[in-house]
Amino acid sequence: MHRRAASGILPPSNPFRARVQRMETEQRIQTILGLQRQIGNSATLALLRRGDVTRLNGSSRITVQRKSRHPHFSGGLATKGKDNDFAVVFFRQAHGENAAAMSIDEFLRFIQRLITGTLMRSQTAPLMKFTTEVQGDSYGSFRYSEWCMNINPEIAFGSAKTVSEITEANLKELADTVYHETRHAEQIFRVLRARVGAMLPDPENVTKEQRWAVADKLRREIAVPFLVALQAAEHPLSPDTKAGKRLLSGAMAWEKSIYGSDAQYRNFVLGKSKENAQKMYKYSSKLYYSVPDDYNVHLPMHNMPLPQKAADYDTALDWINSLYRRFESRHLPEAERVLESLRKRGKSSGMEQIMRRHIQTILSAMRAILKTEGKLYTKEQIEALYYQAEAAVLAFDQAYRDLPEEADAWRIGGKAGSKYEKQARKHGLDTSSPEDD
């Protein structure tokens, strides 16, 4: 479970979105109309999904209108006031007397103690290990097979060597990320406890051997460390109490998404198709920004009279051509299979309707990419692919954020980030990033 960079799956800096946001109203409308002609309505909607394009009324930015499509699951880190308590202590440490001398490793050990205290008081998840490994565009992740939270040092800290050198924007994102990933730990542990409750309906009359057997089964089924499974076996969730019923609602939604009937959809949204859409976006962007504006010659790209750039073009083209083949032979059929499996369920829930819409949007974006058929010869065609690939990435991003466990973690983590920002503003500090300007 990964928490992506601030703009979701996209890199922190998105040149296209920045250009759209700075345009006058008429220019923005013409840009959107042009996109509709180039890539179709569905792909354009995916491209601009975070902006409410119905309100282009002269404002300087496209207004962000994001509302959760899922019920709010309570308990644990979602308990009222916990996010603020966390953010206040986090801020004080980041700006305390020792911040200039405190190393990044020392700061992470402090955060681990802070989260440990939060979990120990609520007993909502076992304690976690912390690691710092580079992970592409992810701020951090929670690996439940190791019961470990990883923080990506390149994105979270940049070149900072001490806490005082970390930017306010990164501190806000770090607070958000730590809370977000800890919520994932709570989710998995609640799923484990719910399974124990179903396997041990009379937890008061269970032997030690029975608990150990249940823990061993959970370890194998959900791939968590044995000690985590054993702790869950000692704290089963029962529907017989009001609190148990309340916590079980979240556990059932998360289990269905991660391990149950929605797992095929989830695996598609988070799998190789998304990864290849990201690569398509990366390399089409690289081509778009390196090809001269006046380039409009219908020749294979590797024959361009720009020897100093030839290697870059060839690399990008090789990747794009291989990605085309994967989209056509593997990812497009996979998306169609997932959509068909959702259709076969008959009468569907609101969540299944959302899932179908996401798959249809992803399919539309994928098909728009394939319309270019690899003929990337003109600046206009390269630009069209760039828009189409970004539309696909945004479609996957929206689907990812609407998974029940992700919607919950982004909401809970976002609250911690907002509480940190509130503390920063009280002290006259700005948490906005350069990309927000």
206-265 tens-digit pLDDT: 889 999 999 999 999 999 999 999 999 998 988 877 778 888 888 999 999 999 989 999
Run of H or E including 281? helix 272-290
Report yes or no on 415 lying in a domain: no
Lowest mean pLDDT among 87-91, 132-136, 206-210, 310-314: 310-314
| Per-residue tokens: 133 | 């490994």
Residues 131 and 145 in one domain: yes
Report yes or no on 58 lying in a domain: no
Residues 346 and 383 in one domain: yes
CA distance 6 to 55: 24
Q: How many domains does the chain have?
A: 2
Nearest 5°: the CA angle 277, 282, 283 is 100
Report yes or no on 437 lying in a domain: no
Report yes or no on 14 lying in a domain: no
Report yes or no on 45 lying in a domain: no
Report yes or no on 159 lying in a domain: yes
Predicted confidence at residue 419, as pLDDT, reads 95
Q: What is the pTM of this model?
A: 0.81
Residues 286 and 318 in one domain: yes
Report yes or no on 279 lying in a domain: yes
Residues 269 and 247 in one domain: no
Nearest 5°: the CA angle 407, 397, 362 is 120
Residues 276 and 224 in one domain: no
Residues 157 and 288 in one domain: no
| Per-residue tokens: 377 | 């010869």
Cβ atoms of 145 and 389 closer than 8 Å: no
| Per-residue tokens: 425 | 């503003």
CA distance 402 to 83: 22
Predicted confidence at residue 38, as pLDDT, reads 59
Residues 317 and 230 in one domain: no
Cβ atoms of 121 and 81 closer than 8 Å: no
How many alpha carbons fall within 13 Å on the CB side of residue 13? Answer: 6
Share above pLDDT 70 across residues of the chain, in percent, rounded to a whole number = 75
CA distance 304 to 153: 39
| DSSP letters spanning 364-403 | HHHHHHHTTTT---SHHHHHHHHHHHHHHHHHHHHHHHTS
Residues 216 and 318 in one domain: no
| Per-residue tokens: 307 | 């020897």
Give the domain extent around 238. 82-256
Residues 111 and 171 in one domain: yes
> What's the Cα-to-Cα distance from 79 to each of 118, 243, 255, rounded to whole Å?
11, 13, 21
CA distance 107 to 102: 7
Q: What are phi and psi of 162, to 5 degrees?
A: -125, 165
Cβ atoms of 284 and 320 closer than 8 Å: yes
Lowest mean pLDDT among 288-297, 366-375, 378-387: 288-297
Residues 172 and 238 in one domain: yes
CA distance 262 to 350: 13
The domain spanning residue 373 has which CATH number?
Answer: 1.20.120
Lowest mean pLDDT among 216-225, 303-312, 329-338, 363-372: 303-312
Report yes or no on 61 lying in a domain: no
Residues 320 and 364 in one domain: yes
Residue bearing the bigger pLDDT, 309 or 162: 162
Residues 248 and 266 in one domain: no
| pLDDT at residue 340 greater than cutoff 80 | yes
